[in-house]
């Protein structure tokens, strides 16, 4: 399963250097990855781990940010989601891969306890 989201980087999203706050970006990544995991689980999920996040290229005010999340592996109750973050410069349309992350989610029932994740269908 996959989910994609778009965000614009506004002045309030940046630090004194004009680059996107890492915490803001991680929030965007977590939300998009959760949507991909929810699609796979067909229900609620919780973030269990942010296994790694690699910041490669700064994202600056005015950039359009595309967050692309895809469920890579499925366990009994958990899923590992890969997140790629791209920046697009509106003025010339160039795109660059800026951030890569891997998050783990657990499917949960109404009582908050782990539940089985439906396996991928072909």
pLDDT in tens, 23-64: 999 999 999 999 999 999 999 999 999 989 999 999 999 999
Q: How far apart, in whole angstroms, are the C-alpha atoms of residue 102 and residue 105?
A: 10
pLDDT band at 121 (very low <50, low <70, confident <90, very high): low
Domains of the chain: 2-107 (3.10.129.10)
Give the whole-angstrom CA distance, residue 73 versus residue 113: 20
Q: Are the C-beta atoms of residues 80 and 71 closer than 8 Å to each other? A: yes
Residue 28, CA distances (Å) to 1, 48, 50, 67 in order: 18, 16, 13, 7
Q: Six-digit token pair at 35?
A: 């949507």
**pLDDT surpasses 70 at 80:** yes
The predicted pLDDT at position 119 comes to 85
* pLDDT tens per residue across span 10-33: 999 999 999 999 999 999 999 999
In this prediction, residues 56-78 reach a mean pLDDT of 96
Q: Which residues lie closer than 8 Å to 72 by C-beta, 6 or more apart? A: 80, 81, 82, 102
Q: Are 108 and 45 in contact (CB under 8 A)?
A: yes
pLDDT tens, position by position, 100-111: 999 999 999 999
- 43 DSSP 8-state letter: S
């Amino acid at each position: 399963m996959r989910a994609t989201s778009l965000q614009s980087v506004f002045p309030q999203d940046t630090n004194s250097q004009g680059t996107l706050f890492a915490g803001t970006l991680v929030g965007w990544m977590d939300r998009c990855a959760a949507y991909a995991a929810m699609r796979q689980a067909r229900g609620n999920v919780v973030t269990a781990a942010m296994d790694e996040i690699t910041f490669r290229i700064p994202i600056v005010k005015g950039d359009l940010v595309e967050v692309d999340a895809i469920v890579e592996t499925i366990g009994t109750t958990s899923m590992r989601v890969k997140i790629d973050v791209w920046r697009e410069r509106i003025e010339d349309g160039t795109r660059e891969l800026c951030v890569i992350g891997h998050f783990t989610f657990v499917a949960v029932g109404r009582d908050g306890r782990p539940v089985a994740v439906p396996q991928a269908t072909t």
